[in-house]
Amino acid sequence: MPKWSMVIDLEKCVACQACSIACRFENNTPVVSPELAWEGREMRWNDVFPAPHEESGDYPNTKTHYLTRPCMHCENPPCIKVCPVQATFIDEEGLVRQNYARCIGCRYCTVACPYGVRYFNWFAPEFESPLEQHLNPDKIEGRGDLEGPAVRPKGVVEKCTYCVHRLRKAHARAEAEGRDFRPDEYMPACVQTCTGKARFFGDMNDPDSTVSRLAESDRAFRLLEEVGTHPKTIYLQEGK
Amino acid sequence: MNFPLDNPFYHFVYQLINTAGIGGLIVIVETILILIAVALSLRGITNGAKVDEPEVYAYPTPALHHHNGQD
Amino acid sequence: MLRISKHDREILLDPLFHAGRKFYLMISVLILIMLWGLIMYVRQFVLGLGTTGMERPAYWGMYMVNFIFFIGISHAGTLISAILRVSNAEWRRPITRIAEAITAFALIVGTLQIIFDLGRPDRILYLFRFGRLQSPLLWDAVSVTAYFLGSLTYLYLPIIPDAALLRDNIPEGAPAWRQRLYKLMALGWRGNRTQWLRLEKMIAVMAVLIIPVAVSVHTVISWILATTVQPGWHSTVFGPYFVVGAIFSGIGALFIAMTAARRSFHLEEYITERQYRNLGYIFITMAAIWFYFTYAEHMTQAAGQLTAEFPVLASKLWGEFSFTFWTMVVIMIMAFIVLVFPLLTPDSWQRSRVFRPRFALANGVVSVLAILALLVPQTQGVTADLLSGLPSPTLRIVAGVFGTVAILSILPWLKSHIIDAMIIASGFVLVGMWLERWNIVVPTMTHPRLMPVGLYTPSLTEWSLFAASTALFIFLFVLFFKLIPAVSVWEVREGRVIDETRDSAQMPLPESSRPPGGLQPAFGDNEPTY
């Protein structure tokens, strides 16, 4: 069973936000008006923002360090521990997923997540024309499930899934072609689109995979290691 | 992450707290148990009226307790 | 057929059947507020939680604060009445029912807050269908359910004999449905010895059982916050801190409720100053423990200065939450002064001409004006020099001196008006405790680790639902005490008998050398039956 992991090389990242945009179109994240965004109601499963307390240099020659942040897909996720109805759960491949059909909208997981990767649908999502003609039709649906890029109802929590629908599709393709599924067949949209080729994705259980090797680098670190969440999204330090 | 989850006992306990529905079940069972206990006690009080004791009290008086236990 | 003395009947039972204009006016106002809240809730339900002021990162806001606050108030009741019952405090008798009613109604209103807060209230039953025991919210469901059912039972049990009294003594011309209601509630109560013994036994058992359940309820609520890793919440002291705060605010609510009942039903001879004095002592104790916990909680954060936690504390001490934080501290200190200082005031002050309320008021006004002048931002003299930005020291001295004189000169009045003093203290404590909950929930929410610092201002929807919740609480309270006597008739009557017996009882004398029968026994078999 693969253990999916992402490595983000901050040295290569140019903070172009292409990952954020790719994620938005891949996952049908609703857009909000500038006023609502100002109120803090915008949704960016994959966010790019200045790292807090990370400015370097003396005025006026300061440098802001940017952080791109998908879900950490922690091995010990604080969010799934607090969900009262198991609407969020960690699957056997280590992906932390969110079931929109079951979420009761108590927002306990958004409160518990120290990374702030979880977003709440304050209003019913609206897609202005022509956006609504370009929605990604993919979704994961089943009895009592509604996941992935499926358009969310109002009042539920949503989050980055490492594009779990792409994983499903890759599995289905391998099955249709009658062969074994290879871990390199699957990659989230943000990794695929990354301008600086700063993102790597792969199977952590395979010691020869790119991510395994990069994770051994002495530049590798994880966000907020002190809170004991054991993230599977790994960063490579900048400027070292 | 060295919590002994592969230990069958801890694994069982984890399944217990992590299975959707068990929590709800416990709340429902708890409610039913409390309601049954209350209903039985109230029935006990109601049935107490059938005991053949001629004198009745609007409130507990020393006379009521004086007959109690003979101590 | 159970009889009740004419006096008790006139004061305790008869008002239940006469509703004045005031009653209807109050009910209509409360219903109007609740209707407004309902409209706002329907709007929120249709549009989504975006109608509140909550946003990222302040995912929880006023609803959570109100939830903790109302559940906290519910501790007044049952916990106080159960502890007093178990410890056989005789003075509890006239106030137990009011306390227990507060519990039941505050729990209803508190649980409603969770439903307000849900993004998908239509899926509320998923909590049972898919409930997961690992989530602290489920612990909450378990213990609040036990507490609610337990306190309803605990409220109902002592009502049974009173319902029977009402059934047998219902005035002429009372509506038939009330006759039926009391008959139903009395459960065929006859009041014979077996029934009394069973009832008393069950009340005693419930009183013991309800105490650990009550403690568990607010502990679990604190654990909803403390089990996360968020800065400022991840604290071991939260459990007892919340329980103490809950009892503290609960006693405040109890004081206000019992004074309201006392005034509106003219229960002056039932609820006397003795109840206020004794409950006041418990109030002072809780205040002291609350200060201790508050200090312990903030001191450890201040000493640690962890990168994530310290900004939360700083926002309370001098940041954007400094107003709510210091208001809380100041009014809690005021409450403590109102409670404790009158006890230390010498009696001779009451004869003094200086220490009069009017004099205190004048001094207080001067002091408040000086404080306001200090708080108003200095519009002129913008300068980088920090010292010159400080307000004038004269104003500070004026505020301090006049404030102290105001407090000192109000003390004799507070001492002689214990009921008013308790009401003032309770008002302070209720506001202070609400602010305390606010200062716990909101600053942590707006100072997350990896998100930009947020701002949270409750919207009209949240304020409306707060008002409507409070109105619902008062509404249930008013309606309930229009149906059931505010004072437990039989318990008060029993207490009176115990007092009389105690007054007439003789000390057991050493064994006499004379043959038995020579001495009159303290209780005789030929004691008249009441």
Whether C195 and B18 lie within 8 Å, measured CB to CB = no
Cβ atoms of residues C312 and C301 within 8 Å: yes
Whether B20 and A230 lie within 8 Å, measured CB to CB = no
Tell me the average confidence (pLDDT) per consecutive run of 10 residues in chain A, 240 residues long. 92 92 93 88 91 76 87 94 94 93 94 93 89 88 89 93 94 94 92 94 93 93 90 89
Cα C364 from chain centroid (whole Å): 28
Buried b (16+ CB within 10 A) or exposed e, C404-428: ebbbbbbbbbbbebbbebbbbbbbb
Q: So what's the pLDDT on residue C154?
A: 92
**Shortest Cα distance from A233 to chain C (angstroms)?**
15
Q: So what's the pLDDT on residue C443?
A: 94
What does the pLDDT look like over B41-54, one tens digit per residue? 999 999 988 888 88
For chain A, say whether C55 makes contact (Cβ under 8 Å). Answer: yes
Which residue in chain B has the smallest CA separation from C156? B42
Q: So what's the pLDDT on residue C80?
A: 81
Tokens representing A175 are 């099955």
Instruction: Pick B45's closest partner by Cβ from C4, C134, C187.
Output: C187
Question: C154 in helix, strand or coil?
Answer: helix
How many CB pairs below 8 Å do chains A and B form together?
Answer: 7
**Rg of chain C taking only CA atoms, in angstroms:** 27
The residues near A224 (Cβ < 8 Å, ≥ 6 apart) are A114, A115, A231, C449, C450
Tell me the average confidence (pLDDT) per consecutive run of 10 residues in chain C, 530 residues long. 81 84 94 97 95 92 96 85 87 91 94 94 93 94 94 93 90 87 90 89 92 94 94 93 94 94 90 92 95 95 90 92 93 94 87 83 90 68 46 80 91 91 96 96 91 87 96 95 91 84 70 56 48
The subunits that touch chain B, with at least 3 C-beta pairs less than 8 Å apart, are: A, C
Residues of B in contact with A230 (CB under 8 A): 1
Cβ atoms of residues A220 and A235 within 8 Å: yes
Question: A17 in helix, strand or coil?
Answer: coil
For chain B, say whether C200 makes contact (Cβ under 8 Å). Answer: yes
**Shortest Cα distance from B1 to chain C (angstroms)?**
17
Q: So what's the pLDDT on residue B62?
A: 67
Whether A85 and C117 lie within 8 Å, measured CB to CB = no
The subunits that touch chain A, with at least 3 C-beta pairs less than 8 Å apart, are: B, C
Give residue for tokens 């990374």.
A115
Which residue in chain A has the smallest CA separation from B21? A85
The amino acid at A200: F
Q: So what's the pLDDT on residue C516?
A: 56
Locate the domains of chain A by residue range: 4-236
Which residue in chain B has the smallest CA separation from C5? B58
Whether A105 and C307 lie within 8 Å, measured CB to CB = no
Whether A85 and B20 lie within 8 Å, measured CB to CB = yes
Instruction: Pick C59's closest partner by Cβ from A107, A115, A223.
Output: A107
The amino acid at C158: P
The CATH architecture of the domain made up of A4-236 is: 2-Layer Sandwich (3.30)
Instruction: Pick B61's closest partner by Cβ from C3, C189, C497.
Output: C497
The residues near B44 (Cβ < 8 Å, ≥ 6 apart) are C198, C202
Calpha distance A223→A229 (Å, rounded): 9
**Shortest Cα distance from C120 to chain B (angstroms)?**
18
**Shortest Cα distance from C82 to chain B (angstroms)?**
17
The amino acid at A61: N
Whether A86 and B20 lie within 8 Å, measured CB to CB = yes
Locate the domains of chain C by residue range: 6-378+386-496
**Shortest Cα distance from A208 to chain C (angstroms)?**
32
The subunits that touch chain C, with at least 3 C-beta pairs less than 8 Å apart, are: A, B
**Number of residues written out for chain A:** 240
Q: So what's the pLDDT on residue B70?
A: 40
3-state secondary structure B17-67: HHCCCHHHHHHHHHHHHHHHHHHHHHHHHHHHHHCCCCCCCCCCCHHHHHC
Cβ atoms of residues A29 and A135 within 8 Å: no
**Shortest Cα distance from A176 to chain C (angstroms)?**
35
**Shortest Cα distance from C203 to chain A (angstroms)?**
34
Whether A155 and C48 lie within 8 Å, measured CB to CB = yes
The amino acid at C322: S
DSSP string, C4-33: --HHHIIIIIGGGG---HHHHHHHHHHHHH
Q: So what's the pLDDT on residue C392?
A: 72
For chain B, say whether C347 makes contact (Cβ under 8 Å). Answer: no
Choose among A23, A140, A6: nearest CA to A73: A6
Residues of A in contact with B20 (CB under 8 A): 85-86
C 432-491 → B contacts, CB under 8 A? 489-491
**Shortest Cα distance from C230 to chain A (angstroms)?**
6
Residues of A in contact with C136 (CB under 8 A): 82
Which residue in chain B has the smallest CA separation from A85? B20
Whether B1 and A75 lie within 8 Å, measured CB to CB = yes
